[in-house]
Chains A and B, each alone.
Chain A
Amino acid sequence: MYKLVLFLLSAAFAMMLHASQLDQEMAVRTLFWAKRALNRAVHAAAQELDPAALSRGVPMLDEEAAERTARAYLQANLRLDGDLSPLGDSFLQSRVEVLAWEVIQGTESFPYTYRNEPLGFAVTLRRPGVIMAIRVEYPRLFRLLGPIRWDLKGAAELVEP
């Protein structure tokens, strides 16, 4: 009888190892998925040129449109609603927080170095651009891993038309 108990215990232990491995694989995948969504959001925002300023020869970004676009692309790629809370079919389960949002305009002197001490993030831009940081929480499939939160940082320069 004790053999059966031993077998079941070791089986449960082996399944726990498999489950935590599965969760870790999914976590890494989710990290890259969220990072790419952020990259696409800043990339799209950095294309929102202000046509009026451009006609005067200054490459300026339309800050309002850029923010709207960044959020729209983040929502489309991560399946979020207007409040950045996950939709029903999203893999995420908690709200995505925007930690930093910065538009670097053409009036700055370039190369421009953006620094964010709390996030430990620095990036040098050669052209006007957009910087965004978000916090994403990984929805754990099993409770074997501790809670995982990532502070993702993305930056994009103006794509020359």
Chain B
Amino acid sequence: MKQLVLFILLSGLVCWMMFAPVYKHVAIMRQALLQQEVDYLLEVGASGTYGHISEAMILASRERLAERGFDPDDLVYEVSTTSGVDATDSARPVPRGTGIRLVIRYPYKNLFVIDRLVGASGPDPAGMMSASGMKMSEYVPDR
């Protein structure tokens, strides 16, 4: 009987120990995938061929991340430039010398719910993890 009571008391702790590391790993991997996507979009977008991060590129990026288990509708993309011009217009690329800044955000959702078993609250489910980067555009208009 004593053992049964102990088991019930400890079962929450055991569940947490078994599954919490997996969720932490998922959080790290999601963050890494977001960062990889930011790096890829900046590498392509700031190159001399494009000079912009258009809506079409963002749509393709959403699809890529959806393949990795993200919900494409929850992804938030923020594109800005150091000079304040719009970087999402493929007809008017950002010229050389201007930095393109990209931030991708994604909500934590229920990744940290399991921590409640041991009394830790973790980040707010509506809070966002984010990955960001800034790269100087190489685009030079044809003369």
Contact = CB atoms under 8 A, between A and B. Distances in A.
B10 interface: yes
A22 B10 CA distance: 24
B28 A4 contact: no
A159 B138 CA distance: 7
A157 B79 CA distance: 26
Interface string B132-143: 111110101000
B138 A29 contact: no
Interface residues of B, number: 25
Nearest to A74: B134
Contact of A29 (B28, B133, B134): B28
A61 interface: no
A33 B101 contact: no
B99 A76 contact: yes
A161 B99 contact: no
A144 interface: no
Given A18-B21, A29-B28, A47-B97, A40 B135 contact: yes
Given A15-B17, A26-B28, A29-B28, A36 B138 contact: no
B136 A44 contact: yes
B18 to A, nearest CB: 10
Contacts of A36: 39, 133
Interface string B15-30: 0010001001100100
B70 to A, nearest CB: 18
B13 interface: yes
Interface string A2-26: 0010010001001100100110011
B136 A33 contact: no
B136 A22 contact: no
B6 interface: yes
B41 to A, nearest CB: 13
Interface string A33-68: 100110010011001000000000000000000000
B99 A29 contact: no
A87 B99 CA distance: 20
Contacts of B6: 4
Interface string B110-134: 0000000000000000000000111
Contacts of A33: 35
B133 A25 contact: no
B48 interface: yes
A73 B136 contact: yes
Contacts of B101: 76
5 contacts: A18-B24, A22-B25, A25-B25, A43-B135, A77-B133
**8 closest Cβ pairs, A-B complex:** A44-B136, A18-B21, A76-B134, A40-B135, A161-B140, A159-B138, A25-B28, A29-B32
